[in-house]
Structure formats: C-alpha cells, structure tokens
Amino acid sequence: MRRLRERAPMPKNPMGEAWFMGGERQMYTGLLQPDPQSWSKRELENALEALTSGPHSFDHSDEWSRWFDFLLPRALECDDDSQWYPLLVSAVFVHCLDPALPGREPGFRRDLLDTLGRRLMAPSCWNHGRAGGSDGLLQPLGGGFYAIAADGAISAACCLVLRYLDADSIDGWIESVLAIDDPAWRCAFVVWLAGAAVLMFNGAQPASMDNPIYLGIGWDGHWLLDGSIPARSLAPDAAQFAFFRPAQVLALCASLKHRLDLSTMLDWGEQLAALSIPEHDRTTTLWQYETAVVQVLDRYG
C-alpha cells in the first residue's frame, strides 16, 4: 500500500465527471483533502464510476489515469471500502487494459495483487473460518431462487487474480483457493469456474458474457469491459485485448486437472445440501451447483 501511494502522489488538479450536459462540469474537489477518511463516500464512488465509464465511452484521458493511480490504494484504506470494491476492480481492468501491464513498474503487479487481490482474505470477510463476515462483502450463499452467489466481489476478485497473476504462480493460487474449508465458498468457486468458461474458451469479454442467471458471474462495472478503449461500438478498429491471456488459461486448466475431480465436487455438493438453505430455494440451488459441476467437467477437461 505504501509503494502504491508513493508512486501516485495527489494530482494538482481535481478530477471531473464523465457524463454531463451544459457548460459546467462537476469537479470532485473534496478528494483534494489529504485525509481519505474525510472524503465523502458518495463523491469517491462517483469519481470511481467516472474514471471507469469515462474511458470506455469517451476515450483515454490523462486526468482519469492519474486519478485512478491516486485513488487505487487510498480507496482501499477508506472505511466501508466494501461498497465500491467490485467497481474498483473494474477500474483496474479499464486502466490496465493490457494484462501484460506495459509501462508499469515491475513491482506494480505484485503490489496490486497483494492489496486489492487479497481484499477478500481480510478478517472482516470471515466468521470463524466461514465466508460471510461483518462487512458483507463476501456472501457466497445468499437468498433467492439460485442461492449460490458467484457474482459480485467473488467474481471480481477471481478475475483480477487470474488476469494479472504470473502463469507459474497460478497453481499455488488454485491450491490456496481450494484449501479454504467452507462448503459455500467452494461451491461458489465451482459456479464461478462454470460461468467464467466463456471468458476462458469462447473469447468473450465481461460485457458480452451472456450467461444464464444460475451461472451469473457479473459485478459492478463488468458491462463496460469489452477489451478496448474506447468501446468497440465507438471505435471498431481499436486494439482489443483478450480478457485472460492463453498462458494463464492453460496454467489454470493444468492446475484444476491436478487438484479437482468429480468425486471432490460431489462431496462438496453433499456438504452444500447440509447447509441452511431456505426450503423453497433448496431444489433449484442444488440443481444450480450440479449444473455448474457438469459445465466444469466439460469445459475444463
């Protein structure tokens, strides 16, 4: 966090909104206060929305890039950062469009993963080893027709790590993901794998995943991510980057073949059935998980 802050001092000029009509543009002057804890939460969230949606709709701006680098570590330091965590991940995908991170200092990738990439491992996300802590960010099992929630923060975090982690570190990451002894977490990860298959193998971008609701892995701002700046609809000739690099996908598949099998996933399904799921959602939720298992077996080999 210290290195991320030192690399990005406060810009001299305030950042402005992306979407406005008329002659006066709103400027987020409150973010020039030196203490992030004094910032208005609404103003910070509006600024993050602007610097995430702005490049997608209006092309690159140095102003938005400078403020992204400045806000990245400081937004994580604010109280209630769980409110905008998925949006902050989307901002990373916009401003680090090429997953190879050209032009970034060598240590940036590691610092990004060790801060934003580890946010779901904060104690506030867990309760006696089970996902679902005090800040409400990590909720792999909720209410609803399909109760397994692999969208939101879970999907944003998994996509962030897989997109920027070095290929030779992915097996260690998968080992740690599967080692978390929480049935809800494990089943949500299986659903995420099933939903993310279109990004891995179909060449889809988050904006065009089009998954059925029971395999939904969307998060705040994912609809802005089509692999290019500005949007492909505005600039069809703009360079487009694959969301996941082939080396990362190959490393993920190799790790899953080594560490995950049908017997294990069936055991997790039995553990899921033993959890407290509202009776009117139980049948559809168990079907949701079984469908995800079939998808994972089929798509990842």
For the chain, what are the domain ranges?
142-300
Burial class of residue 32 in the structure, from the number of CB atoms within 10 Å of its CB (0-12 exposed, 13-18 middle, 19+ buried): middle
For residues 145 and 53, give the distance between their C-alpha atoms in angstroms, rounded to a whole number: 31
CA dihedral 46, 49, 91, 239 (to 10 degrees): -150
Whole-prediction pTM = 0.95
For residues 58 and 134, give the distance between their C-alpha atoms in angstroms, rounded to a whole number: 38
Using only C-alpha atoms, the chain has a radius of gyration, in whole angstroms, of: 20
Place of tokens 């998808």: 295
pLDDT band at residue 18 under the 50/70/90 scheme? confident
Residue 282 has, within 13 A of its CA and on its CB side, a CA count of 11
pLDDT band at residue 23 under the 50/70/90 scheme? confident
For residues 281 and 291, give the distance between their C-alpha atoms in angstroms, rounded to a whole number: 15
The predicted structure's pLDDT at residue 28: 94
For residues 295 and 211, give the distance between their C-alpha atoms in angstroms, rounded to a whole number: 12
Give 126's strand partners: 131
The predicted structure's pLDDT at residue 144: 85
pLDDT band at residue 106 under the 50/70/90 scheme? confident
The predicted structure's pLDDT at residue 216: 97
Burial class of residue 5 in the structure, from the number of CB atoms within 10 Å of its CB (0-12 exposed, 13-18 middle, 19+ buried): middle
Backbone angles phi, psi at 27, to 5 degrees: -115, 140
Backbone angles phi, psi at 148, to 5 degrees: -75, 120
Backbone angles phi, psi at 131, to 5 degrees: -65, 140
For residues 69 and 279, give the distance between their C-alpha atoms in angstroms, rounded to a whole number: 46
For residue 25, pLDDT over 90 is answered with no
Cβ pair 101, 109 in contact under 8 A: yes
Query: What is the tens place of the pLDDT at every residue in 162-191?
Result: 999 999 999 999 999 999 999 999 999 999
* Residue 166 vs residues 100, 172, 204, 231, 258: alpha-carbon distances, Å: 9, 11, 21, 27, 18
For residues 198 and 203, give the distance between their C-alpha atoms in angstroms, rounded to a whole number: 7
CA end-to-end span of the chain: 38
The predicted structure's pLDDT at residue 300: 96
Cβ pair 89, 116 in contact under 8 A: yes
